């Protein structure tokens, strides 16, 4: 036993199988998503009217619209992609402000770990670069100490 629904499609009343209704509803939603926003509502109404005409031709009184009939109507009208390029619903993500903190995972002051977290680089590689630059390349130890004093300690970790 299947559930049936009484619906109006294209200003004509039909009794439709619940599975067929779900498929038809998904098809119309796909068409709505493929059309430009300015013409989506009008296009869906036109498609609904055409589907109502197709159903009226094939369904007699007291007959139920089945999923096979819905698929046949979908084949006649065509896929939703024929109505335009599919729109994606874009929900902007809130911007997360990145902040430079000294890390609590520290060897000396947490400056290198904080810089590695901020820039998304390998901590060990950054520590080696700072070590070689400090002792062989001329990067002063004072720069590290100043950064240690200026960059706040991460309050969350």
**Domain identity same for 13 and 76:** yes
Helices (H) and strands (E) in the chain, counts: 6, 3
Q: At what angle do helices 123-132 and 111-119 cross, to 10 degrees?
A: 130
- Which of 96 and 10 is assigned the larger pLDDT? 10
**Domain identity same for 59 and 115:** no
Query: Regarding beta strands 4-9 and 64-65, do their DSSP bridges make them parallel or antiparallel, or are they unpaired?
Result: unpaired
Query: Cα separations (Å) of 79 from 10, 24, 34, 69, 134?
Result: 19, 12, 10, 15, 65
Task: Provide the number of structural domains found in the chain.
Answer: 2
**Domain identity same for 78 and 100:** no
pLDDT digits (tens, 9 = 90+) for 34-81: 777 777 778 888 888 888 888 888 887 778 888 889 899 888 888 777
Distance in angstroms (rounded) separating the CA atoms of residues 113 and 121: 9
pLDDT of residue 92 exceeding 70, the answer is: no
Range of the domain at 42: 4-83
């Amino acid at each position: 036993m299947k559930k049936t629904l009484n619906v109006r499609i294209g200003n004509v009343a039909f009794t439709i199988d619940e599975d067929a209704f779900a498929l038809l509803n998904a098809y119309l939603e796909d068409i709505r998503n493929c059309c430009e926003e300015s013409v989506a509502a009008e296009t869906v109404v036109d498609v609904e009217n055409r589907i109502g005409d197709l159903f009226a031709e094939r369904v007699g009184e007291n007959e139920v619209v089945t999923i096979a009939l819905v698929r046949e109507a979908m084949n006649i009208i065509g896929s939703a992609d024929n109505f335009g390029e599919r729109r994606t619903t874009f929900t902007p993500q809130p911007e997360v402000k990145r902040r430079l903190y000294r890390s609590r995972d520290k060897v000396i002051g947490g400056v290198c770990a904080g810089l590695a977290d901020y820039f998304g680089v390998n901590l060990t590689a950054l520590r080696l670069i700072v070590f070689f630059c400090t002792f062989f390349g001329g990067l002063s130890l004072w720069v590290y100490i100043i950064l240690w004093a200026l960059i706040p300690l991460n309050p969350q970790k």
